[in-house]
């Protein structure tokens, strides 16, 4: 199917690492605004992970992907979910995000890149590097970010800046780039806020 005239071509090798950086910015905003009392708290009858353990898991899984998929990249230190502080976790998450972004750059420059396959676990078959790899990585973060937001709410410490996670144009600027959709383009007809039918 031909691309309509005037629509910019996709630049996946450039845009995917940018969107991964935006994804990490969402994690950082959540942790910036999280009430410290929620970090290790557990709701009554809750047997799952604490928020501290959730983000330690996210970071440690990233380290596993890096170790199995891009062993030439220097791994950041793993996190101990029983001892990691909020500040330490923010710093270390940023480090693993930067490494994962580099892994994506190298995977998307195949066949010349050093990442020739994506291995998400020792028991899993390797995947060809590409969009599915990126989607898997983003989905893992988003799943656990949602868990953390829900748990904070259940604990009585709802994330007051949660709406910021959805202002992607602003997040992109904070990450140092501009989304294609935020460039000067006309909004398609009939896509604004619906007018009230009440008179």
Look at residue 194 and tell me if it is in a domain: no
What is the distance between the alpha carbons of residues 16 and 107, in angstroms, rounded to a whole number? 11
Residue 77 vs residues 80, 85, 95: alpha-carbon distances, Å: 10, 14, 9
Give the tokens for residue 28.
Answer: 């950082």
Domain residue limits at 30: 12-181
Q: What is the DSSP letter of 178?
A: -
Contact (CB, 8 A) for 93 and 112: no
* Residue 7 CB neighbour total at 10 angstroms: 9
Look at residue 197 and tell me if it is in a domain: no
Look at residue 63 and tell me if it is in a domain: yes
Look at residue 195 and tell me if it is in a domain: no
Look at residue 189 and tell me if it is in a domain: no
> Bridge partners of 127?
118
What is the pLDDT, as a whole number, of residue 7?
Answer: 46
Q: What is the reported pTM?
A: 0.83
Secondary structure of residue 127 in the 3-state scheme: strand
Residue keyed to tokens 């199995």: 68
What is the distance between the alpha carbons of residues 34 and 28, in angstroms, rounded to a whole number? 10
> Bridge partners of 146?
none
Look at residue 5 and tell me if it is in a domain: no
Secondary structure of residue 118 in the 3-state scheme: strand
Look at residue 193 and tell me if it is in a domain: no
CATH code assigned at 47: 1.20.120.450
- Domain tally for the chain? 1
What is the pLDDT, as a whole number, of residue 2?
Answer: 54
Look at residue 3 and tell me if it is in a domain: no
Residue keyed to tokens 């937001």: 149
In a structure prediction context, what are the per-residue pLDDT tens digits for the chain, which is 199 residues long?
554 555 455 666 778 888 999 999 999 999 999 999 999 998 777 778 999 999 999 999 999 999 999 999 999 999 999 999 999 999 999 999 999 999 999 998 867 778 989 999 999 999 998 889 999 999 999 999 999 999 999 999 998 877 787 888 888 888 888 875 545 556 666 666 665 554 4
């Amino acid at each position: 199917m031909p691309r309509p005239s005037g629509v910019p071509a996709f630049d996946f090798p450039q845009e995917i690492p940018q969107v991964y950086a935006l994804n990490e910015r969402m994690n950082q905003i959540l942790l910036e605004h999280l009430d410290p009392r929620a970090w290790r708290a557990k709701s009554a009858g809750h047997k799952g992970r604490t928020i501290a353990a959730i983000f330690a898991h996210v970071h440690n899984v990233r380290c596993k992907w890096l170790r199995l998929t891009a062993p030439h990249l220097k791994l950041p230190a793993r996190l101990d979910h029983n001892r990691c502080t909020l500040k330490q976790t923010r710093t270390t998450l940023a480090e693993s995000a930067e490494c994962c972004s580099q892994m994506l750059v190298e995977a998307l420059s195949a066949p010349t890149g050093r990442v020739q396959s994506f291995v998400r676990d020792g028991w899993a078959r390797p995947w060809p590097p590409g969009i599915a790899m990126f989607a898997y990585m983003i989905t893992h973060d988003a799943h656990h970010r949602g868990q953390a937001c829900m748990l904070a709410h259940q604990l009585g410490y709802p994330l007051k800046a949660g709406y910021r996670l959805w202002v992607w144009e602003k997040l992109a600027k904070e990450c140092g780039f501009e989304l294609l959709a935020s460039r000067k383009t006309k909004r398609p007809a009939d896509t604004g806020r619906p007018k009230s039918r009440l008179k």
